[in-house]
Structure 1
Amino acid sequence: MKRVGQWFLGSCLLLAANLIQAQPWQLVKDEAGIQIYLQTIPGSSFQAFRGVTRMRVSMPRLLALQDDVSAACHWIHACSEQKLLAHDGKQSWAYTRFHTPWPVQRRDSILQVTTEQAADGSVTRVLHGVADYLPQQKGFVRVSKVEGFWSLTPRDGEIEVIYQVHSEPGGSVPAWLANSFVVDAPFNTLQALRQLAEEQ
């Protein structure tokens, strides 16, 4: 458990260091109660995204929706298949396959997710790509790097949800696809998750 806590703290410090070196966040979309921000990352051709919204849902329900890994493709943007690989205490590992428009080769990724709950009831899930957790799959390009988090914070009877990620998709990705993905991925993901979470 001590090693997990040290890893989590180290990940948070690394994220903080990256934010200090990176450029300021720029608001690029504000629609349907969802704000999307982009940030240029030094040394990377791909921008980081941050999506922010509020949901009228209980924390247990929201966590349950995220923990249902295989069903999460219903609300994760461009997700075609997802499965839980392993679970150990606060950590889990998930494999995901993504749709991509022709002629771009399909992508897959493996995430290590570390969940921490604070004394105030807020929950943070740190996302860390582990590309070599499984061998390369035929017909797919492995996403080479993923760093990000989900932040779930109770506020005035709602939950403020922040979804932030920077990734390196691997292989060749056209600029138009990369530019649309960093906006569509957080917006569509948050919108679909909110709709599902708020269903009675």
Structure 2
Amino acid sequence: MHKKYLLYLMLFFLYKASYGQADWTLKSTKNGLHIYTKTVSSSGLKGIRVKCTLPAKLSQIVALIMDVNAGEEWVYGTKSSFLLKRVSSSELYYYSEVDIPWPINNRDFIAHLTVSQDPQTKVVTINGPTEANYLPAKPPIVRVSHSIGKWVLTPAKNNLVQIDYTLEVDPGGTIPVWLVNLFATSGPAETFKKMKEQVKKPQYVNANLSFIDNG
């Protein structure tokens, strides 16, 4: 049960826009994964930042992140994840329910993902704020009312992509702040480990996205 608690926060594909590097404190470096935290509210909640490099094309990683129906396969603890509305090839809304062990109620969220790419640098940005009122809440599931963030994907030499992921989330309800902060520092490793394997699947390797220039 405790392991699931530790990994809970990584279920949200929603993350705070990057703060200045000086504000972040490095908490863990292992297997090429660098995890930072910072305090983002007076209550003591922490934001997280994860940096790593993957051998992949930009289109591979974007295709994976935008394939929201596959979230259960690699985002640890996801009970359900499915598309609500595809606005365009680079914009969508999706729903996800997070499976939290008893006695804490499950959480759910609606995310609005948008993808953009700088035509000069080829850097891809994926923003994903929550839209809490997009659908009615479904008690006893607790709706996540606030979560905003960003993926920044930077192409590098030798067919590598540098990932900079940042997240600030208020899970709502009665989860103790110390437990949320524990998730923030311990959760990312499991999901990013699975991400490295998931992105190798043919549907992502062979993805051809008209709005992404691999450079």
TM-score, normalising length: structure 2 = 0.78
Partner in structure 1 of residue 104 of structure 2: 104
Separation of aligned partners in 1, 2:149 and 2:42: 17
Separation of aligned partners in 1, 2:96 and 2:44: 23
Cα deviation 1:16-61 (Å, max 9, x = unaligned): 6xx36x9810111111110110011133431100111110012222
Equivalent pair of 1:27/1:38 in contact (CA under 8 Å): yes
**Unaligned stretches of 5+ residues in structure 1:** 1-13
Deviation, structure 1 residue 147: 0.8
Partner in structure 2 of residue 6 of structure 1: none
Deviation, structure 1 residue 85: 0.7
Partner in structure 1 of residue 167 of structure 2: 165
Equivalent pair of 2:56/2:161 in contact (CA under 8 Å): yes
Separation of aligned partners in 2, 1:166 and 1:181: 12
**Unaligned stretches of 5+ residues in structure 2:** 1-15, 203-215
Q: Check 1:109–1:23 CA distance in 2 against 1; reply closer, same or farther (3 A cut).
A: farther
Question: What code does the residue aligned with 1:106 have?
Answer: N
List, as ranges, runs of 4+ consecutive aligned residues in structure 1 with deviation greater than 6 Å.
none
Separation of aligned partners in 2, 1:87 and 1:172: 33
Partner in structure 2 of residue 143 of structure 1: 144
Question: What code does the residue aligned with 1:187 have?
Answer: A
Partner in structure 2 of residue 93 of structure 1: 93
Deviation, structure 1 residue 121: 2.1
1:129 match: secondary structure? coil
Separation of aligned partners in 1, 2:92 and 2:99: 23
Q: RCO higher in 1 or 2 (8 Å CA, sep ≥ 6)?
A: 2
Of the candidates 171, 187, 190, which is equivalent to residue 188 of structure 1? 190
Partner in structure 1 of residue 212 of structure 2: none
Equivalent pair of 1:108/1:143 in contact (CA under 8 Å): yes
Q: Check 1:176–1:127 CA distance in 2 against 1; reply closer, same or farther (3 A cut).
A: same
Aligned length: 184
2:27 match: secondary structure? strand
Equivalent pair of 1:163/1:186 in contact (CA under 8 Å): no
Equivalent pair of 1:91/1:112 in contact (CA under 8 Å): yes
Equivalent pair of 2:17/2:166 in contact (CA under 8 Å): no
Partner in structure 2 of residue 68 of structure 1: 67
Equivalent pair of 2:45/2:177 in contact (CA under 8 Å): no
Deviation, structure 1 residue 167: 0.6
Separation of aligned partners in 1, 2:130 and 2:187: 17
Cα deviation 1:115-152 (Å, max 9, x = unaligned): 10111222110111111110001330001100101111
Deviation, structure 1 residue 184: 3.3
Equivalent pair of 2:44/2:177 in contact (CA under 8 Å): no
Q: Check 1:46–1:143 CA distance in 2 against 1; reply closer, same or farther (3 A cut).
A: same
Partner in structure 2 of residue 25 of structure 1: 24
Q: Check 1:15–1:197 CA distance in 2 against 1; reply closer, same or farther (3 A cut).
A: closer
Equivalent pair of 1:23/1:39 in contact (CA under 8 Å): no
RMSD of equivalent CA atoms: 2.1
Determine what percentage of the aligned residue pairs are the same residue: 28
